[in-house]
Structure 1
Amino acid sequence: MDFKRIEWIFLIAFIALDIFLVGSFTQQARLLSVTNTSPTSSTALVLRNIKEDQITYGKLSDKRQWGYYVVSPETDVFRNKPARLHDESWTDNNQELTATFATAIHVNVKHPTRVLNSVIRTRVINGKQYRYDRHLSTVTQVVYTQTFKGIPALTQAGQVRFNVRNGIVTGYTQGYVKEPRRLPKKQRMISAKRALIALYQYNKINGSSTVQWVRLGYTKLLAANQHVIYVPTWVFSIRSKATGNVTYRQINAFTGAVMNKD
């Protein structure tokens, strides 16, 4: 890809982002006005209200980091590549590949990576670019994620998901983010604690619940000019104390806006 084409992609991506951010400005401004200007809604008071609503969470950082948007071409990344796969059948549907092993693989459900680390490196397309994610994995699904400069892809587009049943893995589903590139302008992100406050003030976290974990990762923001733009996102895993049900919530790490879950 020549430099001029990259410049045009970045320019179009910035225009698309500007349009999107205009739409989210009102939501962000309301959050900032509530958390920063109202004496009755200071950070300490909001956190006390969270506690009174029996919402528990671990230690959350106040540290603000710098981050970047990431852009990737929206193409059929698996075109012709599945021919490399051996001893498995596959289907390529909507930029996602589903493969079934000719012979099922047995794993220890408590330590599935002892086998799957080798499987993903040797039998999955571009498998060496994925890393095991213990937070997203369960006893029935083992998840590996791509990373962009050390930050994981918390979107199915950049994950390999092995389905496990009674210690048997019959196949996997794979998404792949091709040629991810940072947009050049860096921006300051909100802290994990500020993201929790945003969730609470937008009524996206119910009382009597526990924040199991908080992750910073990339999720899909929008598509423009046959490219996909990914944004740093605070992702929360929230378990209801009453029902045990788990809900995932997302906060845009740049704007503090609530995002749809993937």
Structure 2
Amino acid sequence: MNFRRIEWIFFIAFIILDIFLVSSYFRQGPIPNANSKGTENTTVSVLKSMRDDQINVGKVSNKKDNGYYISSSDGNHLKEKGNSLRYQNWSYNNNQINSTFATMIKVNADNPQRSLKSIVNDPSQIIDGKDYKYCKKLSTKNVIVYAQYIHGDPVYDSSGQIRFHVKNGYIEGYTQGHLENIQTLRGSRKIISQKRALIWLYQYNKLPSNSTVESSNLTYSKLLSVNGNTIYIPTWVFYIKNNASGSTIYRKINAFTGAVMDDGNN
């Protein structure tokens, strides 16, 4: 693909992106203005309201980091390398490998990366395993997640993850997506802080009463696809436990604009 064509793809992508963000804004309503009431007093007031609603948020950061628009090309990289895989049965669908190991692998529940290190680093068992790192915060007792990282933050979508499936202490198999030809589309820009994202979620009525925000992560999530390329953006992901039922829900918020994204894990 020549440089001129890449420029046009990115130009079209940003037109679509701008349309998407504007339409999201009007569907959701104006984003609460951090300065509309002046001030830190407003933040303190909102945090107090959370406590009154029995929402436990713990310690949250007001630090503002930098983020980027990222592009990844859609391709058949995994499919093309699939014939190198051994000791497993695999299929390819929607740009992902779905595999079942011939022999299940015993996993160390406390340190699963120890059990999987030799597997992930073996190209006959995992394609390009070196491109992923174990991500404890995105893992559960049933799914062990290895993610690709962009500018130090993990990819939240399965399109950039290896997800090992655990049953009764053994890994049965995995699904794998892989981001190819990752490019930064624009220079860095400031993202909203963890505290600001949490406040906006509350103001959007996305934090249920009698709940606990157990953790949050800054990740990269899929925004849209255009012309065989997918755009990713920085995203705050909050993990919220319902104290009454014990169930966990997920909330995502665009770290550039503060717009709430889809609820739930992918």
Corresponding residue for 1:199? Answer: 201
Q: How many residues align?
A: 261
Corresponding residue for 2:119? Answer: 119
Report deviation, 1:39: 6.3
Counterparts of 1:145 and 1:205, CA distance in 2: 27
Counterparts of 2:86 and 2:16, CA distance in 1: 41
Counterparts of 1:246 and 1:180, CA distance in 2: 32
Corresponding residue for 1:5? Answer: 5
Counterparts of 1:53 and 1:27, CA distance in 2: 26
Report deviation, 1:105: 1.3
Where does the alignment leave 5 or more consecutive residues of structure 2 unmatched?
Answer: none
What amino acid maps onto 2:55 in structure 1?
Answer: I
Report deviation, 1:24: 2.8
Counterparts of 2:108 and 2:238, CA distance in 1: 28
Moved more, 242-251 or 24-33: 24-33
Corresponding residue for 1:220? Answer: 222
Measured at CA, do residues 24 and 185 of structure 1 come closer, stay the same or move farther in structure 2, by a change above 3 Å? Answer: farther
What amino acid maps onto 2:150 in structure 1?
Answer: F
Counterparts of 2:29 and 2:210, CA distance in 1: 28
Q: Contact 1:144–1:159 (CA<8 Å) still a contact in 2?
A: yes
Q: Contact 1:91–1:99 (CA<8 Å) still a contact in 2?
A: yes
Counterparts of 2:182 and 2:38, CA distance in 1: 43
Moved more, 135-144 or 252-261: 135-144
What amino acid maps onto 2:6 in structure 1?
Answer: I
Q: Contact 1:72–1:227 (CA<8 Å) still a contact in 2?
A: yes
Q: Contact 1:28–1:256 (CA<8 Å) still a contact in 2?
A: no
Corresponding residue for 1:133? Answer: 135
Corresponding residue for 1:256? Answer: 258
Match runs of 1:81-100 below 5 Å? 81-100=81-100
> What does the per-residue CA deviation read over 1:215-252, in whole Å, with 9 as the maximum and x for residues that have no partner?
00000111112211111000000001111100010000
Match runs of 1:1-262 below 5 Å? 1-26=1-26, 30-33=30-33, 35-38=34-37, 42-122=42-122, 123-260=125-262, 261=264, 262=266
Q: Contact 2:10–2:185 (CA<8 Å) still a contact in 1?
A: yes
Q: Contact 1:57–1:212 (CA<8 Å) still a contact in 2?
A: yes
What TM-score comes out, normalization by structure 1 length? 0.94
Moved more, 37-46 or 76-85: 37-46
**Runs of 4+ more than 3 Å apart:** 25-29, 38-41
> What does the per-residue CA deviation read over 1:141-183, in whole Å, with 9 as the maximum and x for residues that have no partner?
1111100121110111111111111221121111111111111
What amino acid maps onto 1:118 in structure 2?
Answer: S
Counterparts of 1:61 and 1:112, CA distance in 2: 29
> What does the per-residue CA deviation read over 1:58-95, in whole Å, with 9 as the maximum and x for residues that have no partner?
22111112211111112233222110101111010111
What TM-score comes out, normalization by structure 2 length? 0.92
Report deviation, 1:104: 1.6
Counterparts of 1:19 and 1:191, CA distance in 2: 25
Counterparts of 2:245 and 2:185, CA distance in 1: 42
Q: Contact 1:146–1:152 (CA<8 Å) still a contact in 2?
A: yes
Q: Contact 2:221–2:235 (CA<8 Å) still a contact in 1?
A: yes
| Secondary structure of 2:206's aligned partner | coil
Where does the alignment leave 5 or more consecutive residues of structure 1 unmatched?
Answer: none
Q: Contact 1:28–1:255 (CA<8 Å) still a contact in 2?
A: no
Report deviation, 1:28: 7.7
